[in-house]
Each structure stands twice: as structure tokens, then as C-alpha cells.
Chains A and B, each alone.
Chain A
Amino acid sequence: GAVVSQHPSWVICKSGTSVKIECRSLDFQATTMFWYRQFPKQSLMLMATSNEGSKATYEQGVEKDKFLINHASLTLSTLTVTSAHPEDSSFYICSARDFRKLAGATDTQYFGPGTRLTVL
């Protein structure tokens, strides 16, 4: 099946620093990637939709200046948490939509393994 990787798998940073998380589709092209956040014992909440070559679309309540998204190629999207604070500590998960299935019968998002961010 399709593989999506994330890097790093975990990161600990000091309050006020910025952290970049990468999401890569390894064996397929993804015109659309999604970023989710999952708090402990909670569900995944969609933060933003990242489209290759255009600006990301953010969900209501998500600060676009705080969570910078760049989707520079068909296989890479990055999420930068700027000036991170302890309340930003969470599990960040990306997913990528398989471009080849756009015209097919299925529409599947493949999820990365997640990045655990801890802000001290």
C-alpha cells in the first residue's frame, strides 16, 4: 500500500522556538495533504488542507500565522509550529491523498505515523 512518512517522529523544544514537521508520500504523488492534531485520548481534528502549489486552507479556529504550511512538491508538505508554547504540545498527524485515485472508485487518505511535539 501507499506509504506516508513523517519526520521527526518526536521532538521536544523550548517555549518560543519554532518546529518544522515534514510529511512525505514515498511511493505516490499527493496533490492534497491534510494536517491533523490529536490530543491525548481525543480524536483527530483537522487543522488544514494543503494543496500543492497553492495556499493551505485552514479550519476555523486554527491560526494560519502560527501553523505555517508549505506544500512545495507533490511528495512533500511541511508544517511549522511558530513560537511554540506548551499548549501546542500534541500529536500531529498528516495524511496524503493518492493522486492516482482521483478518477477511480475509491478515495483514500493514507496517514503518516505522526509526530509527537512536546513544548517545555
Chain B
Amino acid sequence: GEDVEQSLFLSVREGDSSVINCTYTDSSSTYLYWYKQEPGAGLQLLTYIFSNMDMKQDQRLTVLLNKKDKHLSLRIADTQTGDSAIYFCAEGGGGGADGLTFGKGTHLIIQP
């Protein structure tokens, strides 16, 4: 079945860049997403990338997709304390007809 893997924790210093990695197994995924979840809150869509793209940049966020290796990454430049949250990688296929398959989430910890 489909599987999405992420490391559980990432610790970075404030002001540094954070890179959160994700691997997935479903090669038919049409879209890949990054969501942010703050404590006790729902999910906030950060960004997404279409499967035929290699890179997408949106302000401090850069998404890189290596479709051959089924590897997705999210880079957050100039990490701030407000970026502390859990980041979920998710994949969806078939034009979004199906629900999303989520990874377990990476807890981003910011050191002062």
C-alpha cells in the first residue's frame, strides 16, 4: 500500500535553514503537499507541488521533488520561533479524488 515516511524530529537554530525530508512510495501521486500543524490546532496547507515539477519556491519555503527517488523536501529559510510545529508530508493521486496519505509528521524544534 501507499506509505509516506518522515523523520520524527528536527532541531535547528533560529535564523538557520530547516530542511525536512519525506519519501513516498506511490509513483502515481499527482500532488505532494506540506502541511503545518501547531499544538492543538488543525492543519494549515503550506505549499504543494505538482508531480511534474522539480522545484517550487514560495517566499521562505522551497520544495524540491525528486520523482525518480520519490523524495520530497521542504526548506524553510531563516527559521523563526513561529515556525515551531509539526510538518506533515502528504501525497494525493488521481486528481485529488482520493483522500491524502500522510506521513507521521516531523516535529521542528527551534533553538534560540
Contact = CB atoms under 8 A, between A and B. Distances in A.
B104 to A, nearest CB: 4
Contacts of B15: none
Contacts of B92: 107, 109
A109 B42 CA distance: 13
Given A106-B48, A113-B41, A46 B31 contact: no
B96 A97 contact: yes
Interface residues of B, number: 24
Given A49-B98, A111-B45, A43 B88 contact: yes
Interface string A104-116: 0111111111100
Q: Which DSSP category, helix, strand, loop or mixed, fits chain A's interface?
A: strand
Interface string B20-52: 000000000011000100000111110010100
A109 B100 contact: yes
B82 interface: no
A107 to B, nearest CB: 3
A49 to B, nearest CB: 6
Contacts of B98: 46, 49
Contact of A49 (B44, B88, B99, B104): B99
A87 B13 CA distance: 39
Contact of B30 (A6, A45, A95, A107): A107
